[in-house]
Amino acid sequence: MRFMIIRKADAETESETSPVGKEHEQLLKDMMAYNQAMLDAGIMRGGQGLKPSSAGARIQFRDGKPTVTDGPFTEAKELIAGFTLIEVKSKEEAIEWVRRWPASDGHGNVSLELRQLYELEDFEGVAGPELKELEKQMHASPDVPR
């Protein structure tokens, strides 16, 4: 089963400067080592880091009509700073991996959320063959997170 590890945003990830400074070298090093361990275990399925919400936007649909609001968005704790996708045998195994998240991230104080991904089998009876083929094409890219 596949899980998405969601790294919640905080004041630092929402600031314009992160993570470009020289002081982030240790964090990058630690994240790479963590990613390497996941790759070596054969469980890494992708991931990305997100720029602050100031570079983003929200779209709200009302009666099918979209309204666009540009970032930044103030509720930092509700925002996402990045994600990693893993494939493991159980939720417990996923939790064991997440416990090993690098301590240098967020200076040892971070919140992560673990969420299970839908699989093709979950669409049984709902999706036709074309839709299943499309779903297969859409499955996440192999990029490793930064």
Partner 1 sequence: MKFMVIVKADANTEAGFLFSEPPPTEMGKFNESLVKAGVLLAGEGLHPSSKGARIRYDGTQRTVIDGPFAETKELVAGFWLIQVKSKDEAIEWLKRAPFGDGAVIEIRQVFSPEDFGPALTPELKANEERLRAQAAAQQQQQ
Q: Which residues in the 29-58 window bind partner 1 by CB under 8 A?
A: 29, 32, 35-36, 39, 42, 44-46, 48-51, 53, 55-58
Element (H, E) at 25: helix 25-40
Is residue 101 a contact point for partner 1 (CB under 8 A)? yes
Question: Helix (H, G, I), strand (E, B), or coil: what is residue 145?
Answer: coil
CB-side neighbour CA atoms (13 Å) of 56: 14
Candidate residues 89, 121, 126, 129; the one interacting with partner 1 per rule CB under 8 A = 126
Find out whether 114 and 5 touch, Cβ atoms under 8 Å. yes
Kindly determine how many residues on this chain lie close enough to bind partner 1 according to the rule CB under 8 A: 78
Min separation Cβ 140 and partner 1, Å: 4
Interface positions, 59-78, toward partner 1 (CB under 8 A): 59-64, 66, 68, 73, 75, 78
The Cα–Cα gap between 64 and 127 comes to 23
| Residue 125 touches partner 1, criterion: CB under 8 A | no
C-alpha torsion sign, points 71, 58, 136, 6: positive
**Of 104-123, which residues contact partner 1 (CB under 8 A)?**
106, 108-118, 122
Is the bond preceding 66 in cis, omega lying within 30 degrees of 0?
no
Nearest distance in Å: CB 33, partner 1: 9
Q: How far is the CB of 112 from partner 1 (least distance, A)?
A: 5
Q: Is 6 in the site for partner 1 (CB under 8 A)?
A: yes
CB of 126 to partner 1, least distance (A): 6
Query: For 47-60, b where at least 16 C-beta lie within 10 A, e where not — what string?
Result: beebebbeeeeeee
